[in-house]
Structure 1
Amino acid sequence: MPYLTVTALSHTGLIREHNEDSLVAGPWTLCGTVTENPQTLVFPLGSPLVVAAADGIGGQPGGEVASALTVRQLAALGPSLGSEEAVRDAVNLCNHAVYAAAERDPELTTMGTTVAGVVVQEKSLLVFNVGDSRVFDAAADGLRQVSVDDSPPLPPGRRTTSLVTQALGGAVTFSAVTPHLTTVPLAVGDRYLVCTDGLTDPVPQDVLDELLRLHTGGRAAFELWKSAIEAGGPDNITLALLTVGE
């Protein structure tokens, strides 16, 4: 019987004082805390299962609140996310929830978060995102980004930016979002990486690709985290590595 393993970790990095990232894998959530070691969960393939990372917007209040709200909402809705329309509605619901929470507490005004993830079904994978957290297909012929960054154009010679063109929350007044959605086939042996920009900003994609070619499971997750730390660990690092087995 086909199954899915999800190996995940979340870490503050070396510069930030606390972790504003959150993660969901099925019914399991990790919100604003740190995992000392990669954690591996195993799920049967069948009903929809959501795996996503949310990155609270830095420099604004309540990033960890916004990211936690988002992943908890996705965890609750996960089994019902059987179509692109359902996922679009869920992401929009998360956006409304972040704004509503900010409206109730003036100290949380302008809090926001990115989100990127997948809904795993028996034979397909639905990829979604808002912001610059990412989803990659770790295919045999090379790592390929499947999500779409909501970032302004970069000047020549620059690889990263901290700016995003849309997020869940993040403004004084409500702003609707347009989630990026795509559905791809899923087969035994497929691997996907879901992560925040605390991994992808300091570590170039070719380095991530090399590490995923060399390692699997918990060792792969550890080596990815280690590469971000060795590059200075400038931001919170959250990642989930998905593998389909049988």
Structure 2
Amino acid sequence: MEHITVTALSHPGLLRENNEDSLVAGPWTLCGTVTGNPQTLVFPLGPPVVVAVADGIGGQPAGEVASAVVARNLALHGPALDGEDAVRGVLDLCNREVYAAAARDPARRTMGTTVAGVVLLADRAVVFNVGDSRVLAVRDGGLELLSVDDNPPPPPGRRTVSLLTQSLGGSREPDGIAPHLTAVPLDEGFRALVCTDGLTDPVPDEVIARVLREHDHGRAAYELWRAAIEAGGPDNITLALIGAGEE
């Protein structure tokens, strides 16, 4: 195993005018833009590689700005993310940078974003998130949720809207975060999906798992996007597929 493959795309969906998602893969970022086709990048295994998505909070101003601040800071500091403490530190930095950007423009006062991703090291993957964007491992033909949703589901039988319990930015006054972090082995054949809720909300887990069983790389990314569109495309759709030791 000598390399890591990342295949990614970002799309506004069918109902939103703007794409408030951002994405980072190593030094490469996509911020508030659209990829018409999945893009595949290959990185050498060893130096830290960060792969993450950020989803600007809907209903609040300038979500695309908040998510871009996070993506660009992760790309900038990614080569130094050599472990859990470093990841926790850069997430705290991202949170402060979102609040600082909001403070410079009253119209952006409450802008905020989620973030979820993986830092790929020589022997392990450090999974992190704040908010409800997700990291899922692809194992034994199914999915395992590695991130922790910061929006507990409503009680059974109730259809109340589930709200984020934490985000980067998002409040009128600066607030701290408690990011979720976990480390998993980076073995030959490791596969993971990093995505915003524009994929996981409308598309059932079993459909996502089936697509990933049947397809790899660009075709898998395209089929996941198509499943979200066929489900109504109610939100921005951003995803990255990670494979260790794959061409």
Answer whether TM exceeds 0.5 for this pair: yes
Q: Partners of 1:43 and 1:83 in 2: how far apart?
A: 18
Residues 114-160 of structure 1, C-alpha deviation per residue, up to 9 Å, x if partnerless? 00000001110000000000000011241111000000332225799
Q: How does 1:64-213 map to 2 (within 5 A)?
A: 64-156=64-156, 163-213=163-213
Q: Partners of 1:40 and 1:23 in 2: how far apart?
A: 13
Please give the TM-score of this superposition, normalised by the length of structure 2: 0.97
Native 8 Å contact 2:141 2:209 kept in 1: no
**How many residues align structurally?**
246
Q: Partners of 2:124 and 2:21 in 1: how far apart?
A: 27
Relative to structure 1, is the Cα distance of residues 185 and 27 closer, same or farther in structure 2, using a 3 angstrom cutoff? same
Aligned to 1:39: 39
Runs of 4+ in structure 1 over 6 Å off = none
Native 8 Å contact 1:23 1:71 kept in 2: yes
Native 8 Å contact 2:81 2:87 kept in 1: yes
Residues 92-135 of structure 1, C-alpha deviation per residue, up to 9 Å, x if partnerless? 00000000110111010100000000000111000000000000
Structure 1 gaps, min length 5: none
* Percentage of pairs with the same residue: 67
Relative to structure 1, is the Cα distance of residues 205 and 160 closer, same or farther in structure 2, using a 3 angstrom cutoff? farther
Native 8 Å contact 2:152 2:162 kept in 1: no
Aligned to 1:242: 242
Q: What value does the CA root-mean-square deviation take over the aligned residues?
A: 1.4
Secondary structure of 1:117's match? strand
Native 8 Å contact 1:21 1:64 kept in 2: yes
Secondary structure of 1:122's match? coil
Q: Partners of 1:153 and 1:214 in 2: how far apart?
A: 30
Structure 2 gaps, min length 5: none
Native 8 Å contact 1:151 1:161 kept in 2: no
Secondary structure of 1:208's match? helix
